[in-house]
């Protein structure tokens, strides 16, 4: 998940190679690596949120099959409160909407970071050509 600068001769960066890395170049490489790490974190968080949304949807499907008069425990904060079927379905719908919003925000943040990474990639590949390999070539 990082970056490396390679010389064509040995496959690893040689300090005496013809590629000169400026401080600005190194800062851009570091920024790309940080963005890449953040995107990976966002992807994992997105997988978790999507799984939570799926669980909420499945819970709603199961609750619809229950009798109308049964009290259903629903986790609110740190406690379970019992509600009838209609109220529980309403609470689940609200929870699903919140989860969809969270997913949307994560997706937007990921797209924004990937756009910034694309700009950095363009600069760095333009500067170093095949002497640099940037991970996360999606």
pLDDT at 28: 95
pLDDT computed for residue 129 by the predictor: 87
Q: What is the pLDDT of residue 20?
A: 85
Average pLDDT on 60-80 reads 91
CB atoms near residue 113 (< 10 Å): 18
Residue 5 bridge partners (DSSP): 132
> Is 11 a residue whose pLDDT tops 50?
no
1 and 136 in contact (C-beta within 8 Å)?
yes
In contact, 1 and 135? CB cutoff 8 Å: yes
Instruction: Classify 66 as helix, strand or coil.
Output: coil
């Amino acid at each position: 998940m990082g970056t490396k600068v390679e010389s064509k001769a040995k496959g690893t960066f040689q300090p005496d190679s013809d590629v000169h890395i400026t401080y600005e170049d190194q800062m851009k490489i570091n920024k790309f690596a940080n963005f890449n790490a953040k995107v990976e974190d966002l992807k994992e968080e997105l997988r978790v949120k999507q799984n939570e949304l799926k669980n909420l949807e499945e819970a709603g499907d199961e609750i619809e099959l229950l009798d109308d008069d049964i009290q259903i425990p629903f986790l609110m904060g740190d406690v379970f409160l019992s509600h009838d079927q209609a109220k529980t379905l309403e609470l689940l719908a609200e929870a699903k909407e919140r989860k969809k919003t969270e997913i949307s925000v994560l997706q937007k943040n990921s797209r924004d970071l990937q756009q910034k990474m694309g700009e950095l990639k363009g600069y760095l590949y333009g500067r170093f050509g095949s002497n640099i390999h940037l991970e996360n070539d999606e």
